[in-house]
Amino acid sequence: MKQLNTDVVIIAGGPAGLAAAITAGERGLKSVILEKSSTTGGAANMGMGPLGIGTKIQKDQFNDISVADALDLHMNYTHFQVDSDLVATYFGKSAETIEWLQEMGVEFAGAFRYFRESEATWHIVKPENGVIGPRAASAMVKIMTERAKELGCEILLETPAKSLIVENDKVCGAVAADKSGETLEVRGQAVIVCTGGFGNNKEMIKQEFGLNLAEDFFPFMIPGITGDGLRMMWAVGAKKWGANIEAIYQIPDNLNWFLLDAVLRQPNLMVNQNGERFMNEGYMGNTTFAGNALHLQPGNYGYCIMDRGILREYQKNGPDIMDIVHPAEAFFGFDQQAAQALEQGYEAYFEAETIEELAEQLGIDPDVLQDTVDQYNEYCRCGVDSQFHKDQKFLHEITGKGHYIVGKFYLGAYGTVGGVRINKYCEVLNDDLLPIEGLYSAGSDANTIYGDSYNFTLPGNTMGFAINSGRMAGESVADYIADLEG
């Protein structure tokens, strides 16, 4: 068995682990990151950027929001079911964290809203290829990785941690398997666990949420994010607490059918498998709200129905709901991708000439679907949705012009959040809510700040929590080690 000694053992090199390593390095501590995959960055490589509140970037864009306002908004949104002190510490640090990232060379394209009703807290990283969109934050990951190494962090890739070492009631290291499968023991004064939740663990998702991965629930299944860190922390007495999904909605395999997903998620007529409408589709811009509404339907899915007449209007005048992830340009590639989907028999896209034909394809009673469409079109003609009061500007009659075009949208998620309880020092708490000595956690494993639903009105929130809590954990560990050394 190989052995290594360091000051701080960090389990995983996602944004939380990297932020913790840099912070420990800034305080003169050496660290070892044990990372399961062949690269650093975890889920953040797919994302666009972290939250910042009260940043200079926001002020320059006249889009500033204060920490006081954001805290008030968030605590009201969560009905005070989450730790105010943890949220306040994170929000209060977030502006300085954006500058901290800038100082190490990260550039931001600006501070953005995700949808109209959200705040402009999403600090999107200027991407290497210049095009703002998915994966922009991978440029930040590279810079953070280099900075961590510069400050003396040793990053061991393809080295999954397996368990924590506890001696004299203190967590003081981890056992891992190195690239060749040989057991490696890394010891330090403290351990920070940040393995990103369990968004890709079928059994845990079934057990914790009753959902069936890739059957009635379609999260981004990031390889390797399987709850390892949570299981290790629970095994040494961490309180099992607050696990949830970071709910969104999407068509299955959406990265391969991105243009269909972009167009068909516009706020037209959405029905469930019983042919019934079930929400004010005007809220579809808040992907957590729409995900929650889908979760209440049979099979956790719904069909979003429109036609090419509406598509042509979107191409001419822009979509009803604008967002940065699905930009208006996507609407011009739709027809080509739709043809491909039909040719390849993609299971979540449908086209039909008549409602009857559509009902048959969807397996919905044709009379019920016809009634729902007729009723909806009546609302569109009068300009009043007397069922859900959707804004008149989203009421476009669905006539089937150029074919009905339909996407089957499922409950999805970026991943999971939560599972252990931490305090504002990122100390992991036991069942008595007392810190387990030497054990810290950050990022999605420890993110219990949303209550029942991700707060999309402050976008950039999970990557923001990951980086800020990583910093908070690094600082707390440095203080703890300084105290130990007297």
Instruction: Rank residues 248 and 269 by Cβ distance to ligand FAD and give the closer one.
Output: 248
Residue with tokens 């607490």: 241
Instruction: Rank residues 379 and 456 by Cβ distance to ligand FAD and give the closer one.
Output: 456
Contacting range for ligand FAD; rule: CB under 6 A; set: 68-76, 292-300, 375-383, 456-464 = 456-464
147 φψ region: left (φ > 0), alpha (ψ -120 to 50), beta (else)? alpha
Q: Is 14 in the site for ligand FAD (CB under 6 A)?
A: yes
Q: Is 460 in the site for ligand FAD (CB under 6 A)?
A: yes
Query: Nearest distance from residue 23's CB to ligand FAD, in Å?
Result: 14
Q: Is 474 in the site for ligand FAD (CB under 6 A)?
A: no
Query: Nearest distance from residue 46's CB to ligand FAD, in Å?
Result: 4
Binding pattern for the stretch 171-210 against ligand FAD, x by CB under 6 A and - elsewhere? -----------------------xxx--------------
Contacting range for ligand FAD; rule: CB under 6 A; set: 8-16, 277-285, 383-391, 425-433 = 8-16
Instruction: Rank residues 249 and 314 by Cβ distance to ligand FAD and give the closer one.
Output: 249
Determine the residue type at 414. Answer: Y
Q: Is 422 in the site for ligand FAD (CB under 6 A)?
A: no
Q: Count the site residues for ligand FAD by CB under 6 A.
A: 39
Site for ligand FAD in 329-348 (CB under 6 A): none
Site for ligand FAD in 21-50 (CB under 6 A): 34-37, 42-44, 46-50
Query: Nearest distance from residue 306's CB to ligand FAD, in Å?
Result: 25
Q: Is 461 in the site for ligand FAD (CB under 6 A)?
A: yes
User: Which of 241, 234, 245 is CA-nearest to residue 210?
Assistant: 245
CB of 436 closer than 8 Å to CB of 428: yes
CB of 437 closer than 8 Å to CB of 426: no
Distance CA 420, CA 430 (A): 9
Among 87, 225, 260, 355, binds ligand FAD (CB under 6 A): 225
Contacting range for ligand FAD; rule: CB under 6 A; set: 67-75, 164-172, 216-224, 384-392 = 216-224
Among 90, 334, 349, 414, binds ligand FAD (CB under 6 A): 414
Determine the residue type at 199. Answer: G
Bridge partners of residue 406, in order along the sequence: 305, 350
User: Which of 224, 152, 212, 223 is CA-nearest to residue 188?
Assistant: 152
Query: Nearest distance from residue 260's CB to ligand FAD, in Å?
Result: 17
Instruction: Rank residues 94 and 444 by Cβ distance to ligand FAD and give the closer one.
Output: 444
C-alpha distances out from residue 466 to 170, 388, 470, Å = 24, 37, 6
Annotate 319-370 with DSSP letters as a single string: -SS--SSS-GGGGGSHHHHHHHHHHHT-TTEEEESSHHHHHHHHT--HHHHH
165 φψ region: left (φ > 0), alpha (ψ -120 to 50), beta (else)? beta
Residue with tokens 């590279």: 142
Residue 42 tokens, joined: 């975890």
Q: Is 17 in the site for ligand FAD (CB under 6 A)?
A: yes
Residue with tokens 């057991």: 183
Distance CA 338, CA 361 (A): 16
Instruction: Rank residues 50 and 282 by Cβ distance to ligand FAD and give the closer one.
Output: 50
Q: Is 261 in the site for ligand FAD (CB under 6 A)?
A: no
Site for ligand FAD in 46-75 (CB under 6 A): 46-50
Among 293, 466, 472, 481, binds ligand FAD (CB under 6 A): 466
CB of 418 closer than 8 Å to CB of 224: no
Dihedral angle sign, alpha carbons of residues 424, 429, 433, 437:
negative
Query: Nearest distance from residue 445's CB to ligand FAD, in Å?
Result: 6
Query: Nearest distance from residue 281's CB to ligand FAD, in Å?
Result: 23
Site for ligand FAD in 428-447 (CB under 6 A): 443-444
Question: Per DSSP, which regions of 212-333 are E strands?
Answer: 218-219, 240-250, 269-271, 301-307
Bridge partners of residue 177, in order along the sequence: 183
CB of 99 closer than 8 Å to CB of 467: no
Q: Footprint of ligand FAD on this chain (CB under 6 A)?
A: 11-17, 34-37, 42-44, 46-50, 160-161, 194-196, 220, 222, 224-225, 228, 414-415, 443-444, 460-464, 466
